[in-house]
Structure 1
């Protein structure tokens, strides 16, 4: 077993809602030197944040995250796994697979995150509409966690996100069921990497400069093809045939 795995640990905190999971992950990242490697959704609204780091840091982070989840009455379970074998990565959203992909930078990076969870799609859409019309915020995307739970994700300044969520709560309650809300003032890079963001907010990693059209265009040379002369058309005289007389035909047949 390598020293890396001997000194490392995995921490898991499971909550009943996506906003609670994001708030828990944010607290874990800010309380100890750990990395958020991803999250898992198993349906019925259950979400699990997965972190990795040295055992003392992971243990401290899990305790802090679980405390936040308990305060929101959303904690399901918590766990710390010391010295995990590499094969365990196959069932976890470990960052090795995330880092193997080029992650585009979001145009909404460094903005506060607001999350509003509802039971049902209509109240979430209604809340989004109210939030956009009330404050200077942007819809970054939304997340589905099963059992009809939907979470709207908005970005903006802390003050605008707070105002928007306050209005969004009222709109969601008028249409359907409001589940939970969460505000993340200063999201760290690890959290940014795992938060869903609509594709139109992502900046491309590689940009190909547009090359101007150069005139005159160089067209391919035309190969001269010999022209074959055809013979002139000959006028043909059309001779009208005389009509056939039936009586004469009968006499010739009788003979």
Structure 2
């Protein structure tokens, strides 16, 4: 059975230099807040980005924990992080930050 998700969602992203901090950040984010990982990508020069969705408070909590965990890794760094409360439908439908069938079992 598919879970229903709240209509008031936020998106939070963390960009890292190197794989260890993105892995640490993703792990901490999912453990710290009731969020769903909706995007993982590799940019140029070994930069990685992850995005999570959930309520505004859950995303804020998750991103904060992800930044701390990513900064604690011995190799790589956090480049940037950002939270958008309630992104507009146009942003949500065009950019790779929306819920997908692959994440359905994890929707919050």
1:117-128 equivalences under 5 Å are 117-128=15-26
Task: Provide, for residues 76-118 of structure 1, a one-character-per-residue CA deviation record: whole Å limited to 9, x for no partner.
Answer: xxxxxxxxxxxxxxxxxxxxxxxxxxxxxxx686510000110
Structure 2 residue 95 is the aligned partner of structure 1 residue 195: yes
Contact persistence 2:10–2:87 (CA under 8 A): yes
C-alpha deviation, 1:143, in angstroms:
2.4
Contact persistence 2:8–2:55 (CA under 8 A): no
Which secondary structure state, in structure 1, belongs to the residue aligned with residue 57 of structure 2? Answer: helix
Contact persistence 1:114–1:153 (CA under 8 A): yes
Which consecutive segments of 4 or more residues in structure 1 shift more than 6 A? none
Which secondary structure state, in structure 1, belongs to the residue aligned with residue 72 of structure 2? Answer: helix
Cα distance between partner residues in 1 of 2:18 and 2:77: 7
Structure 2 residue 41 is the aligned partner of structure 1 residue 143: yes
List alignment gaps of at least 5 residues for structure 1: 1-106, 203-255
Q: Which structure carries more relative contact order (alpha carbon 8 Å, separation 6+)?
A: 2
1:28-107 equivalences under 5 Å are none
C-alpha deviation, 1:183, in angstroms:
0.4
Cα distance between partner residues in 1 of 2:58 and 2:19: 23
Could you tell me the TM-score, scaled by structure 2's length? 0.79
List alignment gaps of at least 5 residues for structure 2: none
1:1-255 equivalences under 5 Å are 110-175=8-73, 176-196=76-96, 197=98, 198-201=100-103
Cα distance between partner residues in 1 of 2:47 and 2:69: 16
Which secondary structure state, in structure 2, belongs to the residue aligned with residue 171 of structure 1? Answer: helix
- In our comparison, the structure showing a higher alpha carbon Rg is 1
1:243 aligned residue = none
